[in-house]
Amino acid sequence: MINVFIGYDTKEKAAFSTLSYSILKNSTKPVAITPIYLNNIKDDFVRERNNLSSTEFSFSRFIIPHLMNYQGWALFMDCDMLMEADINELWRLRDDRYAVQVCKHDYTPKSTVKFLNQVQTAYPKKNWSSVMLMNCKKCTQLTPNYVNRASGLELHQFKWLESDDLIGEIPLEWNWLAGEYEHKDDVKNIHFTEGGPWFSEYKDCDYSTNWFKYYSECFKIRL
């Protein structure tokens, strides 16, 4: 079973549903999809949201190893994505040498503002944590107490690991940043990191045609 956790934001319901459908449609193996929805984890995650948190799941993603009882593997994805390939291909990249495996982006955002006029912050390892293969038995530092108290940079820059040597790399095509990277037709997972076509102001963004195709199939809407 491929264990997929997707960040859930109440402002992006269509994004979550469409991503889930794209994963299921293209997968050749059974997939268990769990939304990281704050109402469902309030016994473990009690952290208050701050002004720099662009989504409701900015920090709650790091509670996943606890939810998995620090056993097995889990895949986390932001909800503002679209899976165009078989997720089993990504799942097969798991490597027990690492605690996490991510796409190691090295870029500076083109804009200082993103969806809903939120600040687009720039920092080292930005967007590394938006797709994570998590080897839960090696993520024992991520206790509820730590996740609720640690700074955003401590969490997103993997300061909870003993060394960056525990961060494995997966190809960028599994977290292709629409609007930041050049358009390619053969990417595997599109990330609408600046804002996706479910927001009216981004309805014509790069790869929007791809997203609307899955959206219309998912909801049986003729566009």
Per-residue model confidence (pLDDT) at position 53 = 64
Alpha-carbon distance 122 to 119, whole Å?
Answer: 9
Return all residues near 158 (Cβ < 8 A) that are at least 6 apart. Answer: 100, 125, 128, 129, 164, 166, 167
Contact present, 57 and 9 (Cβ < 8 Å): yes
Q: pLDDT at residue 123 above 90? A: no
pTM, 2 dp? 0.92
Q: pLDDT at residue 110 above 90? A: no
Q: pLDDT at residue 118 above 90? A: no
Alpha-carbon distance 21 to 105, whole Å?
Answer: 26
Give the tens place of pLDDT for each residue, 76-101: 999 999 999 999 999 999 999 999 99
* Residue 223 banded pLDDT, cuts 50, 70, 90: low
Give the tens place of pLDDT for each residue, 193-210: 999 999 999 999 999 999
Q: Is 217 helix (H, G, I), strand (E, B) or coil?
A: helix
Give the tens place of pLDDT for each residue, 124-168: 788 999 999 999 999 999 999 999 999 999 999 999 999 999 999
Q: Is 152 helix (H, G, I), strand (E, B) or coil?
A: helix
* Residue 169 banded pLDDT, cuts 50, 70, 90: very high
Number of domains making up the chain: 1
State the residue range of the domain holding 209: 2-219
Query: How far is the CA of 84 from the CAs of 22, 81, 151, 192, 210, in angstroms?
Result: 7, 10, 33, 13, 9
Please report, as a single letter, which amino acid is at residue 3: N
Give the tens place of pLDDT for each residue, 11-32: 999 999 999 999 999 999 999 9
Residue 163 maps to which CATH number?
Answer: 3.90.550.10
